Amino acid sequence: MPKKLLLLPPLSVSSAFRAPRVSPAARLAMNAARTGYRVFSANSTAACTELAKRITERLGAELGKSVVYQETNGETRVEIKESVRGQDVFIIQTIPRDVNTAVMELLIMAYALKTACARNIIGVIPYFPYSKQSKMRKRGSIVCKLLASMLAKAGLTHIITMDLHQKEIQGFFSFPVDNLRASPFLLQYIQEEIPNYRNAVIVAKSPDAAKRAQSYAERLRLGLAVIHGEAQCTELDMDDGRHSPPMVKNATVHPGLELPLMMAKEKPPITVVGDVGGRIAIIVDDIIDDVESFVAAAEILKERGAYKIYVMATHGILSAEAPRLIEESSIDEVVVTNTVPHEVQKLQCPKIKTVDISLILSEAIRRIHNGESMAYLFRNITVDD
């Protein structure tokens, strides 16, 4: 008698390829990895990765695996060595002397992460380059706005920066910009590292810096002095687009049109508004690049009786002969943060001191990734700060 064949019910596609059961703990670990974050450094030089290492140490994370280098023909190449799919990625880019190379490294890395399907790409740019070119000058261009558009096109979705040269620069971007402040760290340095700081006066080396100096003076309960006169040359004195087009000889003017003539500027002799005699002078600004104006201000303050002179700023670019000029000047100490690498300049001039701001940058990264409010980082910060 033939054996009967037992027919089994056909397997459905869903049952045949059903994923294995995963424990709740493993599922949480998978979700955490899927929605985690990575921190990369976009610099190709070792000196510029120091800030990135400090930030990752505070976060308890590892620096992302990537390779950034220059080809023999000068082109920049970026290779991401790990998966970033579905993750928040933070690119830390400090700006060395070779600004244009740093910008290209940032753009190429952002685009590489975008094509690697990163969920969000946040640029951590402590010193934003081209921030001084944020206004129209004759027939020039607003390069800062161009850079903002390029960053957005490359794939950035958020930027963390510090002490923008002009706060209005935030309006150039089509995505959120967190403009952090370094003043709490510099104020702490004044209170802890400057002996007898109660006998100090905060100095603005030009009327343009008066608001920043006033903010420091009010917080430290100190006096305020402003240097004003012909020795100062500010950005506002430069020609802007309203002088274009140039005057044309034998230009025909409507006979009934008589425009009032703008009087030419004439600066008064240099003066110091405020008493600095027998006191410590602390000059505050946002950027120290070419130091000639700071050296000239220090000489004037010395003539007016200041017995010790400090210069404090967020970004210590210290270009060209800045270390030598500082060393030979009446300035006793220059205090800047590590938004810009300046280890070489410190070796050339022992007067240069550094304040670490990696704490606030790491906290900003943590809060953005966790979706927490950034208001804590802007406590007691006003519009003029």
3-state secondary structure 1-66: CCCCCCCCCCCCHHHHCCCCCCCHHHHHHHHHHHCCEEEEECCCCHHHHHHHHHHHHHHCCCECCE
Q: Which of 196, 228, 130, 188 is nearest to 312 (CA)?
A: 188
What's the residue count for the chain?
385
CB 225 within 8 A of CB 276: yes
- Supply 272's token pair: 């110091």
Residues 173 and 146 occupy one common structural domain: yes
User: Pick from 180, 214, 240: which residue ends a domain?
Assistant: 180
Domain enclosing residue 345, as ranges: 184-232+269-355
Q: Is residue 74 part of a domain?
A: yes
What is the number of other CB atoms lying within 10 angstroms of the CB of residue 57? 13
Same domain, residue pair 171 and 304: no
- d(CA 113, CA 309) in angstroms, rounded, equals 46
**Number of domains comprising the chain:** 2
Q: Does residue 112 lie in a domain region?
A: yes
Per-residue model confidence (pLDDT) at position 34: 46
Cα–Cα distance, 380 to 267 (Å, whole number): 36
Residues 277 and 140 in one domain: no
- The verdict on 172 and 96 lying in the same domain is yes
CATH number for the domain harbouring residue 319: 3.40.50.2020
Structure tokens at 345: 């300049």
Is residue 137 domain-shared with residue 70, that is, in the same domain?
Answer: yes
Distance CA 374, CA 16 (A): 49
- 218 lies in the same domain as 101: no
What is the three-class DSSP state of 337? strand
Q: 384 and 210 in contact (C-beta within 8 Å)?
A: no
- Do 164 and 283 belong to one domain? no
Kindly state whether residues 137 and 192 are assigned to the same domain.
Answer: no
* Beta-carbon contacts of residue 70 (< 8 Å; ≥ 6 apart): 44, 76, 77, 101
Q: Does residue 210 share a domain with residue 155?
A: no
Q: Is residue 221 part of a domain?
A: yes
What is the rounded distance in angstroms from the CA atom of residue 262 to the CA atom of residue 20?
Answer: 81
Q: Is 161 helix (H, G, I), strand (E, B) or coil?
A: strand
With respect to residue 383, please indicate whether it lies within any of the assigned structural domains: no
Handedness of CA 160, 148, 111, 317 (dihedral sign): negative
Question: Do 189 and 286 lie in a common domain?
Answer: yes
Confidence at residue 7, expressed as pLDDT on a 0 to 100 scale: 52
Would 191 be classed as within a structural domain?
yes
Do 134 and 205 belong together in one domain?
Answer: no
pTM for the model stands at 0.83
Task: Give the whole-angstrom CA distance, residue 55 versus residue 180.
Answer: 15
226, part of any domain: yes
Q: Let me know whether 49 and 193 are in one domain.
A: no
pLDDT in tens, the chain (385 residues): 555 555 555 544 444 444 456 555 444 444 444 458 999 999 877 778 999 999 999 999 999 999 999 999 989 999 999 999 999 999 999 988 889 999 999 999 999 999 999 999 999 999 999 999 998 888 889 999 999 999 999 999 999 999 999 999 999 999 999 999 999 999 999 999 999 999 999 999 999 899 999 999 999 999 999 998 765 445 554 555 555 555 555 555 566 667 787 777 777 778 899 999 999 999 999 999 989 999 999 999 999 999 999 999 999 999 889 999 999 999 999 999 999 999 999 999 999 999 999 999 999 999 999 999 999 999 888 777 7
SS3 206: coil
Is 121 among the domain residues?
yes
Whether residue 20 is contained in a domain is answered as no
